[in-house]
């Protein structure tokens, strides 16, 4: 009997990509200067729960949100991006406060932008899913976790939650994220 997991979606570099998240050892490098884009439905949901997480934020991040909000005027594609304060996402405080809030309700993906939850999965210029890796299609982010030599573990074995989550993005459960 085979114990091989079938992938819930096609990933172009599934056979070659290595990845292993080592948070908290890395200090949350993927939350540093990342500026992920935020869908309209996600921004609305974050705004609604902001009063529940504001006291959990770093003091500088809290002041920044109170002054300017949690989204920047900068756009990625046609979407606003999460704000950065003191080099980190405003929702980073020894981990993601949006993740922690979702975890208390049984769903770690409930409040995080889908781009954050899916990391290191992303789409290429043709819309194909791939695991971000150094040297793959011009990857510019120099996070050590994107260096395939840093881990001997195949990404398809370590990214179960992320693969299942990305596969679910087109389901009714996740459509709220993309509402205008």
Can you give the residue ranges of every domain in the chain?
Answer: 29-178
- Burial (CB < 10 A; 0-12, 13-18, 19+), residue 103, is middle
Helix, strand, coil percentages in the chain from 3-state DSSP, rounded to 5: 35, 15, 50
Residue 98 DSSP class: H
Q: Is the dihedral of CA 174, 88, 19, 3 positive or negative?
A: negative
pLDDT of residue 1: 38
Among 45, 33, 73, smallest CA distance to 178 is for 45
Task: Give the range among 37-41, 61-65, 110-114, 124-128 with minimum mean pLDDT.
Answer: 124-128
Ranges 41-50, 125-134, 144-153, 156-165, most confident = 41-50
Q: Write down the pTM of the prediction.
A: 0.90
Query: Residue 6 in 3-state DSSP?
Result: coil
The Cα–Cα gap between 50 and 44 comes to: 10
pLDDT surpasses 50 at 9:
yes
Average pLDDT over residues 39-51: 97
CB 21 within 8 A of CB 146: no
Residue 157 DSSP class: H
Of 135 and 16, the one with more pLDDT: 16
Q: What is the pLDDT of residues 53-104, one digit of tens each?
A: 999 999 999 999 999 999 999 999 899 999 999 999 999 999 999 999 999 9
Q: Which strand (E) or helix (H) includes residue 103?
A: helix 97-104
Q: What is the pLDDT of residues 24-36, one digit of tens each?
A: 889 999 999 889 9
pLDDT surpasses 70 at 3:
no
Query: Residue 1 in 3-state DSSP?
Result: coil
H, E, C per residue of 30-96: HHECCCCECCHHHHHHHHHHHHHHHHHCCHHHHHHHHHHCCEEEEEECCEEEECEECCEECCECCCE
Among 108, 124, 81, smallest CA distance to 23 is for 108
């Amino acid at each position: 009997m085979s114990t091989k997991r079938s992938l819930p979606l096609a990933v172009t570099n599934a056979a070659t990509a290595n990845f292993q998240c080592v948070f908290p050892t890395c200090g949350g490098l993927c939350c540093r200067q990342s500026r992920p884009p935020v869908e309209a439905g996600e921004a609305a949901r974050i705004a609604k729960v902001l009063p529940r997480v504001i006291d959990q934020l770093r003091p500088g991040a809290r002041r920044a949100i109170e002054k300017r909000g949690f989204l920047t005027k900068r756009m990625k594609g046609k979407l606003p991006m999460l704000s950065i304060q003191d080099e980190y996402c405003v929702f980073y405080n020894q981990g993601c406060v949006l993740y922690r809030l979702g975890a208390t309700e049984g769903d770690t993906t409930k409040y995080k932008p889908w781009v954050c939850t899916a990391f290191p999965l992303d789409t290429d210029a043709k819309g194909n899913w791939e695991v971000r890796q150094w040297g793959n299609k011009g990857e510019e982010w120099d996070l050590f976790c994107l260096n395939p030599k840093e881990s001997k573990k195949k990404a398809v074995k370590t990214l179960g939650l992320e693969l299942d989550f990305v596969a679910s993005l087109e389901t009714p459960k996740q459509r709220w994220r993309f509402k205008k």
